Amino acid sequence: MRICILLFTFVVSLASLPAQSTPSPRPLPTGAAEAEIEAKISALIGKMTLEEKIGQLNFPSYAFPREPQIEAVTKGRIGAMLNVANLDHVRVFEEAVQASRLKIPMIFAIDAIYAFHIAFPVPIAWAATWEPELAERAAEAIARETAQIGVNLTFAPMIDISRDPRWGRVMEGGGEDAYLGAAFSAARVRGYRKGGLATSAKHFVGYGAPEGGRDYNGAQISMSELFDRYIPPFQAAIDAGTETVMASFNTVNGVPVTANRPLITDVLKTRLGFDGLVMSDFAAIMELKNHGVAGDLAQAAEKALHAGIDYDMESKAYDQHLEDSVKAGRVPVAEIDAAVRRVLRVKYRMGLFEDTPGGQRKRPPPLDEASVRKTARDVARESFVLVKNNGATLPIGPQSGTVALIGAAALSVNDHSWYGPAGLEKPRTETLHDALKARLESKQTFLFAPAFADACGLSFEDKSKAVETARAADLIVFIVSEDCAVSGEGASRVDLGLSGVQGEMLDALAEVGKPIALVVETGRPLVLTDASEKVASVLIAWHPGTEGRTALAEVLTGEFAPSGKLPMTFPRSVGQIPLSYNELPTSRPSTGDRYTTGYVDEKPTPLYPFGHGLSYTSFSYSGLAVGKPLLTRDGTIDIRVDVTNTGSRSGQEVVQLYTRQLVAARSRPLRELKGFQKIKLAPGKKKTVRFTLKASDLAYHDDTGEPVIEPGKFDVFVGGSSAADLKSEFRIVAE
Ligand code: NOJ
């Protein structure tokens, strides 16, 4: 009850605070300031007992009864805690810090990723906007809400690249492409940091490439692929100032990342120059036993510390064993000191030593609820991807006549938020039913049938009534939803079709013979091959969050035109996975003949390619020109293209630039995204869009992970998707 009252007070105060100007992220200290911090850290480490040092590496989850944890903090044996999601509870531990000998402030962390109070669309939808600034605003808003409860670090952003939609966690990330993923990684880090939270870029590395798409499964990744495909979002996060990085659960090439010194110390800390702290994932040190690389928890602790894992999240392995390991001579104190230094460095960088107990002084205040909702609505609107629209079935207008909305998801107020402190009242969410009904013209008739007994269509409520309702309409809007319980961590799937009886319902609706606009709420690419054939339009709405259904009605009725583009390939069949636009050429490029790359029972191409997405208007591309078609290894090249809105209403287009190196020492991908810009054009208007590429943007990595800028010829393609066909060329020359 007390928690509820406290949280209610928090909500009320959120709603009543005025909007604030955008703060800047806390700058990382450089030069003399940095040297001063390092000197303070040395002095502090000099005063610490071994027990206090190990305490700084101990990062348990908040547990009840909490007295043992309060006592441990007082003794300096806990340096950070996760899931303390209440300001009063945070204060209890801050008081315990004040009672400790060295008074070293604590880190308090939660998974405030796309929701704290107001839920934003899931992060893959952020990437579908192709507008990193929106992601930055979203992250800032979430952080500013979260920081008010004393939390100072978020376990975000999740920046794992994945080409496998069977893996449930694709919903948390930026999709399949390193360039797009890096842009969103940096934007999200900037945003959360602006909002007053430190970030944890996760999960380093290759977690998004589990074999078979099974969560936690191992990945096989060569060094060149690691650096080309998986590391760029981490490098971007580091450059944007992420204070921490979370190591992944999985093995890479047979060695668990949590015990992988070549990856954590040699690659992340040394080669990428990351000098913040590296944390394990939840209980991952303990799970080294399950991986079969540690016989007991003590050995797991020693291996993880030696690999470079500074923070033990929840395993209590460091707390219980490192002291003995040091005394037995198996762990040098220098290894512990190095980890403690990183932890303290991050605490200084976060400004924790300057904070008052209660920690509010340095944090930006929350935004007012209306402005958070506005940002959530903006992200949702821009994230919807219209992948098919035959006969301009959408937008719904007076010409659409009687509209039948079918599907229980239209009554859903589930905002699919992952986080929301216990007891906090869910924010008001409009249903699609209400939002759409309110937006139809007065002359139009609105009909509705839920069809299903639940929002995800697992069973029917009344199939024939839904068919009858559809018969009475001129246009059917059928909303289907992937259950959010089947997106996210531990939610790998082998069947990516419509869940439950939604496919059966679609078959029945298709027989009615009226145009169908299919709206798909999902956290991942689904296999929509059959479904797409039966409908005129398909709008991918992701899981759109608190403001999402209102945004959906705005887009369906044309109040706002769709402008999202797919950040991940939609395959035709699960058997094609992994599938992405940037594959390597093969010895036998697909021609449809049997002895060329492909399948005997399926086309090799995706259903909807990466970068694809339509608007309610159309765009044409012309005049692709390359400034000076020769560039040296330290040179740049200018590329421009004219984009014209050839339709009758204004719209936004994501202009995408792809390159292909035609001949190199290794096979290079058929296409690689190297630039994008989202533009807005009035009908009939033309705009020249310019890109500048550096030769270093065209580098790839060799077998040792070293970047190579190899002279040679490149094709460049510009257009509205990865299938763009407007082409030019240029060349990198040796001198
Ligand atoms: C496990 C997840 O893999 C990670 O992403 C998350 O931050 C932690 N649990 C903490 O909740």
Give the CA distances from residue 655 to residues 552, 590, 625, 646, 726, in Å, rounded to whole numbers and listed in that order.
24, 27, 14, 15, 12
Which segments of 87-131 does DSSP mark as H helices, in order?
87-98, 123-128
Positive or negative: CA dihedral 64, 65, 70, 73? negative
Q: From the CB of 62, is ligand 1 less than 6 Å away?
A: no
> Residue 173 has which token pair?
């990330």
31-349 shares its CATH topology with 619-733: no
- Answer for the pair 285, 304: CB distance below 8 angstroms, yes or no: yes
| 281 is annotated as an active-site residue | yes
Three-class secondary structure of residue 631 per DSSP: strand
Report the greatest alpha carbon distance in the chain.
83
Distance, CA of 80 to CA of 417 (rounded, Å): 25
Residue the block writes with tokens 């992994």: 578
Nearest to 417 by CA among 161, 8, 109, 123: 123
> Residue 439 has which token pair?
């937006």
Which segments of 26-169 does DSSP mark as H helices, in order?
31-47, 50-56, 67-74, 87-98, 123-128, 132-147
- Answer for the pair 578, 225: CB distance below 8 angstroms, yes or no: no
Q: From the CB of 155, is ligand 1 less than 6 Å away?
A: yes
DSSP per residue, 205-257: TTTT--GGG-TT--B---HHHIIIIISHHHHHHHHTT-SEEEEPSSEETTEEG
pLDDT in tens, 552-564: 999 999 999 999 9
Please give the distance, rounded to the nearest whole angstrom, from the Cα atom of residue 481 to the centre of ligand 1: 25
Q: Given phi > 0 = left and psi -120 to 50 = alpha, else beta, which region is 103?
A: left
The pLDDT of residue 10 is: 37
DSSP assignment letter at 103: -
- What single letter denotes the amino acid at residue 428? R
Mean pLDDT score across all residues of the chain: 94
Q: Given phi > 0 = left and psi -120 to 50 = alpha, else beta, which region is 283?
A: left
Distance, CA of 348 to CA of 328 (rounded, Å): 32
Mutate to test the pocket of ligand 1, among 108, 110, 111 (most ligand atoms within 8 A of CB): 111
- Please state the φ and ψ torsions of residue 620, each to the nearest 5 degrees: -120, 150
The pLDDT of residue 422 is: 58
Q: Which helix (H) or strand (E) holds 193?
A: helix 178-194
Q: At residue 472, does pLDDT exceed 80?
A: yes
Give the CA distances from residue 87 to residues 6, 148, 195, 215, in Å, rounded to whole numbers and listed in that order.
9, 7, 17, 33
Query: pLDDT > 70: what percent of the chain?
Result: 95
Q: Given phi > 0 = left and psi -120 to 50 = alpha, else beta, which region is 12?
A: alpha
Which residues are bridge partners to 631 per DSSP? Answer: 732
The residues near 399 (Cβ < 8 Å, ≥ 6 apart) are none
Mutate to test the pocket of ligand 1, among 159, 200, 217, 489 (most ligand atoms within 8 A of CB): 489
The pLDDT of residue 291 is: 98
pLDDT in tens, 3-58: 333 333 333 333 333 344 567 887 888 888 999 999 999 999 999 999 999 999 99
pLDDT in tens, 301-345: 999 999 999 999 999 999 999 999 999 999 999 999 999 999 999
b/e 16-52 (16+ beta carbons within 10 angstroms → b): eeeeeeeeebbeeeeeeeeeebeeebeebbeebeeeb
- pTM reported for the whole predicted model: 0.95
Please give the distance, rounded to the nearest whole angstrom, from the Cα atom of residue 111 to the centre of ligand 1: 7
- What single letter denotes the amino acid at residue 395? P
Between CA 28 and CA 33, with CA 29 as vertex, the angle to 5 degrees is 170
- Whose C-alpha lies nearest to ligand 1, atom 11? 111
Helices and strands in the chain, H and E counts: 21, 26
At 522, the pLDDT band (50, 70, 90 cuts) reads very high
Which segments of 17-49 does DSSP mark as H helices, in order?
31-47
> Residue 511 has which token pair?
């027989």
Distance, CA of 250 to CA of 619 (rounded, Å): 43
- Whose C-alpha lies nearest to ligand 1, atom 3? 281
Q: From the CB of 730, is ligand 1 less than 6 Å away?
A: no
Nearest to 242 by CA among 208, 198, 191, 289: 198
At 423, the pLDDT band (50, 70, 90 cuts) reads low
How would you class 158 by CB atoms within 10 Å of its CB: exposed for 0-12, middle for 13-18, buried for 19 or more? buried
Distance, CA of 304 to CA of 386 (rounded, Å): 46
Q: From the CB of 281, is ligand 1 less than 6 Å away?
A: yes
Half-sphere exposure of 264 (CA within 13 A, CB side): 31
Q: Given phi > 0 = left and psi -120 to 50 = alpha, else beta, which region is 452?
A: beta
Distance, CA of 92 to CA of 109 (rounded, Å): 15
pLDDT in tens, 130-180: 999 999 999 999 999 999 899 999 999 999 999 999 999 999 999 999 999
Three-class secondary structure of residue 413 per DSSP: coil
**Residue tagged active-site, from 281, 312, 415, 483:** 281
Please give the distance, rounded to the nearest whole angstrom, from the Cα atom of residue 324 to the centre of ligand 1: 29
Distance, CA of 14 to CA of 26 (rounded, Å): 23
Helix 67-74 / helix 87-98 crossing angle, nearest 10 deg: 40
Nearest to 41 by CA among 135, 114, 104: 104
- Whose C-alpha lies nearest to ligand 1, atom 4? 281
Q: From the CB of 282, is ligand 1 less than 6 Å away?
A: yes
At 483, the pLDDT band (50, 70, 90 cuts) reads confident
- Please state the φ and ψ torsions of residue 88, each to the nearest 5 degrees: -65, -35
Helix 232-239 / helix 178-194 crossing angle, nearest 10 deg: 30
Choice among 197-206, 363-372, 545-554 with the minimum mean pLDDT: 363-372
CATH number of the domain at 31-349, out of 3.40.50.2300, 3.20.20.300, 1.10.3080.10, 3.40.50.720? Answer: 3.20.20.300
CATH topology of domain 383-576: Rossmann fold (3.40.50)
Please give the distance, rounded to the nearest whole angstrom, from the Cα atom of residue 615 to the centre of ligand 1: 36
The pLDDT of residue 239 is: 98
Distance, CA of 171 to CA of 126 (rounded, Å): 10
Residue the block writes with tokens 């949280």: 7
CATH 2.60.40.10 given to domain 619-733: yes
Please give the distance, rounded to the nearest whole angstrom, from the Cα atom of residue 67 to the centre of ligand 1: 25
How would you class 372 by CB atoms within 10 Å of its CB: exposed for 0-12, middle for 13-18, buried for 19 or more? buried
Mutate to test the pocket of ligand 1, among 188, 197, 282, 419 (most ligand atoms within 8 A of CB): 282
Please give the distance, rounded to the nearest whole angstrom, from the Cα atom of residue 282 to the centre of ligand 1: 6
Distance, CA of 442 to CA of 53 (rounded, Å): 70
| Spans of all domains in the chain | 31-349, 383-576, 619-733
- Mean pLDDT of the region 682-697: 98
- Mean pLDDT of the region 287-291: 98
Distance, CA of 378 to CA of 352 (rounded, Å): 33
Cis preceding-peptide flag for 600 (omega within 30 of 0): no
Q: From the CB of 287, is ligand 1 less than 6 Å away?
A: no
At 421, the pLDDT band (50, 70, 90 cuts) reads low
Give the CA distances from residue 593 to residues 571, 585, 589, 597, 669, in Å, rounded to whole numbers and listed in that order.
20, 16, 10, 9, 22
Positive or negative: CA dihedral 275, 280, 286, 290? negative
Residue the block writes with tokens 């403001």: 547
The pLDDT of residue 426 is: 84
- Please state the φ and ψ torsions of residue 654, each to the nearest 5 degrees: -95, 110
Nearest to 542 by CA among 516, 519, 560, 515: 519
Please give the distance, rounded to the nearest whole angstrom, from the Cα atom of residue 383 to the centre of ligand 1: 25
Sheet holding 403-406, edge to edge: 385-389, 537-540, 516-521, 475-481, 403-406, 446-449
Q: From the CB of 521, is ligand 1 less than 6 Å away?
A: no
- Answer for the pair 465, 156: CB distance below 8 angstroms, yes or no: no
- Answer for the pair 215, 381: CB distance below 8 angstroms, yes or no: no
Distance, CA of 400 to CA of 669 (rounded, Å): 44
Pairing of strands 107-110, 153-154: parallel
Q: At residue 535, does pLDDT exceed 60?
A: yes
Please identify, by atom number, the ligand 1 atom nearest to the C-alpha of residue 156: 7
Cis preceding-peptide flag for 395 (omega within 30 of 0): yes
DSSP assignment letter at 497: S
Q: From the CB of 311, is ligand 1 less than 6 Å away?
A: no
The pLDDT of residue 357 is: 63
